[in-house]
Amino acid sequence: MAIPNPTVKFTYQDYLNAPEDKRYELLDGELVMAPAPGELHQSVSILLGSKLFQFVAEHRLGKVYHAPFDVVLSDLDVVQPDLLFVSNERTHIITPANIQGAPDLVVEILSPSTAVRDRTFKRALYARHGVNEYWMVDTTAKTITVLLLGERGYAVVDTYGEGETLTSPAWQGFTLNVGDLF
């Protein structure tokens, strides 16, 4: 799979004019169509999203959103993470149309068509723009890899599988039985 780096780069304004009947992301100026996710992807998204939403609401930490919702990282980078969290301290980046800047947490649920891009290009993109915590959910391996942003990019905190309990380095008290998602 090619890493986005087109000769002609589209901008956020071009992205806004893309056909509305398709789902796109803008990656380094390349307009990339994202196919609709499959059933397992959707199931994991709704289950994980509800767990995140419940924890965030109970502790009044901020806002949780699910795709499709634009995250504008730059004029050449607009993504639609499967799930994202913005803390109360950073709600100024939330607009009625989109998120303007890096969320505190981004979750990507890997699909066959997006897994390589999520593990490489988007990982680097999120780190470059300051997303503090990045989770990659692998529905094939039934794992969640938690990464935390440091001075040299992301470091893997841990990879959690079935029968294990995920904890978040950023959310004290948050736990998730990974097997409940799959």
Q: What is the DSSP letter of 94?
A: B
pTM for this structure? 0.87
CATH, residue 58:
3.90.1570.10
Q: How many domains does the chain have?
A: 1
* Residue count of the chain: 182
Look at residues 147, 138, 143, 110 and name the one whose alpha carbon lies nearest to residue 1.
110
Structure confidence at residue 11 (pLDDT) = 85
Residue 170 inside a domain? The answer is yes
Q: Where are the alpha helices (DSSP H) in the chain?
A: 12-16, 39-59, 115-119, 121-129
Residue 160 inside a domain? The answer is yes
Residue 44 inside a domain? The answer is yes
Report whether 159 contacts 145 (CB < 8 A): yes
Residue 117 inside a domain? The answer is yes
Please tell me the distance from the alpha carbon of residue 82 to that of residue 41, in angstroms, as a whole number: 9
Judged against a pLDDT cut of 90, whether residue 77 lies above it is answered with: yes
In the chain, which ranges are E strands? 24-27, 30-33, 62-66, 71-74, 77-79, 83-87, 99-100, 105-110, 133-138, 143-150, 153-161, 165-167, 175-177
Residue 16 inside a domain? The answer is no
Residue 175 inside a domain? The answer is yes
Structure confidence at residue 5 (pLDDT) = 58
Q: Which CB contacts under 8 angstroms, 24+ apart, belong to 154-158? A: 154/123, 154/126, 154/127
Give 108-117 pLDDT, tens digit per residue: 999 888 888 8
Structure confidence at residue 15 (pLDDT) = 77
Give 12-58 pLDDT, tens digit per residue: 888 787 777 677 788 888 888 777 788 999 999 999 999 999 999 99
Residue 81 inside a domain? The answer is yes
Cα 43 to Cα 85, 95, 114, 144, distances in angstroms: 19, 27, 17, 15
Alpha-carbon 42 to chain mean position: 14
Structure confidence at residue 30 (pLDDT) = 83
In which band, very low, low, confident or very high, does the pLDDT at 6 lie, cut at 50, 70 and 90? Answer: low
Residue 14 inside a domain? The answer is no
The total of other beta-carbon atoms located within 10 Å of residue 59's CB is 12
Structural domain of 119: 37-181
